Amino acid sequence: MTDLTELTAVQLVDGYRKGEFSPVEVTRAALERAGRIQPEVNAFVRLTAEEATERARESAGRWRRGEPCGLLDGVPVTVKDILLMRGHPTLRGSRAVSPDGPWDEDAPSVARLREHGAVFLGKTTTPEYGWKGVTDSPLSGVTRNPYDPTRTSGGSSGGAAAAVALGAGPLALGTDGGGSVRIPASFCGIFGLKPTYGRVPLYPASAFGTLAHVGPMTRDAADAALLLDVIGVPDARDWSALGPAPGSYTDALAGGVRGLRVAYSPTLGGQVAVRPAVATAVRRAVERLAELGAYVTEADPDFAEPVDAFHTLWFSGAARVVQRLGPRQRAVLDPGLREICAAGARYSALDYLAAVDVRMELGRRMGAFHESYDLLVTPTLPITAFEAGAEVPKGSGHRRWTGWTPFTYPFNLTQQPAASVPVGTDGEGLPVGLQLVAARHRDDLVLRAAHALFEAGATGPRLTPGGS
């Protein structure tokens, strides 16, 4: 018998259309899987089983009548607990947020999913206010890696990544302000896309400003394209949202990589020390791109590490997040968050604008780079998952999470589309991710190249749900 939790969203919709199974069966299977994995990996803040079952029943009725209401009717999806979901608290991983309502509004991406008939399984875990690259918080504890529960799932969309990896819904909404979709996608062996800034509207606006993106977290690029077709449309509540997409991202998948100009930068010009097992897995996938017809050149983008500018913007945003909290609320914050908020509060307006200048120059350089190359390929991360409950790997010498994420946060500064593609495992069986980056507005190229790797089998076998 088919394990319904193994199927992608594309396969589920096809099965509903053919009458092979129903949204009720699929939802029950996904909820059962979510309940089973929760004690070990802690992917969920809460499950919304009753509501999910009711939405699945309504969807089943529509499919029986041959009248699905959208592209994802009856497909289970999870929502990171940073995004508003009507009827349920959005606590943002914080004990400082009151669960009292009213919670009467959906975030734009959630609203589009609701319109398309998706079934909401629940809210997934996040570090407090999504501030770091691992997922643990004073509110919900530590979220663990599906491949090894002693390791971190990454973050800040760690619960979303763990849920997808273990079959608790094929689709998840994550957010990414410095790598928060791509980091856990890499650590958990799934696909994660940070679209061009504004492609997926965000409301309420993030205190981290135009660093923050909403993106799909899925098993493969085809599901991400389908999800982006649904959520990547304008919403009047976000003044910085882009206009309608130029076409269907799903339709664009078939383009392949033949003739694309690909720059492969294994270490950003020697700036990053990459573990050998990671480097080997990424290089093997890059060679596969060449075999598929891409013109691959080893070339580095011309920029120095912009971490100081990123910290100025990120820490200032964190300080803004907690600005209105009283002493009692501040006392229950994650100690690391309190530290960066204190640092952020010390920056001046001129410091902030100087960081914006660095950002603008980085964007100019990457714009020029993409006149010569359609895609940039790097490792997503220089390492694989480390011990759970720590912000940085033990003995690494890093102070903050940005020390081990040098490939991800620069492309939040530039607002470019960037994705993490699973390309194998290291010697300990932990996933390795490859990052694809394109010029702003060329999300289609990122998805096309990722889809080509999936179709060619370059991403390897997926984790068996419930296994290790």
Active-site annotation holds for 80: yes
Handedness of CA 174, 179, 182, 186 (dihedral sign): negative
In 3D space, the residue among 288, 292, 283 whose CA is nearest the CA of residue 259 turns out to be 292
18 is catalytic: no
Q: Is 297 helix (H, G, I), strand (E, B) or coil?
A: strand
Catalytic residue among 59, 94, 180, 265: 180
Backbone angles phi, psi at 416, to 5 degrees: -80, 155
Rounded CA gap, 197 and 441, in Å? 9
Backbone angles phi, psi at 275, to 5 degrees: -60, 140
User: Across-strand partners of 305?
Assistant: none
Closest to 150 in 3D by CA, of 402, 334, 404, 390: 390
The secondary structure element, H or E, covering residue 120 is strand 119-124
Secondary structure class of 409 (helix, strand, coil): coil
Which one of the listed residues 80, 123, 132, 194 is annotated catalytic?
80
> Residues near 108 by Cβ (< 8 Å), separated by ≥ 6?
200, 201, 202, 203, 231, 235, 237, 238, 241
> In the numeric block, which tokens belong to residue 437?
């980056």
Integer-rounded Cα radius of gyration of the chain = 20
Catalytic residue among 94, 153, 156, 206: 156
Cis before 204? omega within 30: yes
* Per-residue tokens: 42: 């802690």
Task: Tell me how crowded residue 452 is: count the other CB atoms within 10 A of its CB.
Answer: 24
For residues 41 and 136, what is the distance between their CA atoms, to the nearest angstrom?
A: 11
Which string of DSSP letters, residue by residue, matches 395-458?
A: TS--SSGGGG-TTTTHHHHTT--EEEEEEEE-TTS-EEEEEEEE-TT-HHHHHHHHHHHHHTTT
Measuring CA to CA, which residue among 158, 164, 80 is closest to residue 122?
A: 80
379 contacts 408 by C-beta, under 8 angstroms: no
Q: Phi/psi of residue 424, each to 5°?
A: 120, -165
Contacts of 154 (CB under 8 A, 6+ apart): 133, 134, 135, 145, 161, 183, 184, 185, 186, 187, 188, 385
- Burial track 275-287 (b if 16+ CB lie within 10 A, e otherwise): bebbbbbbbebbe
Give the catalytic positions in this structure. 80, 156, 180
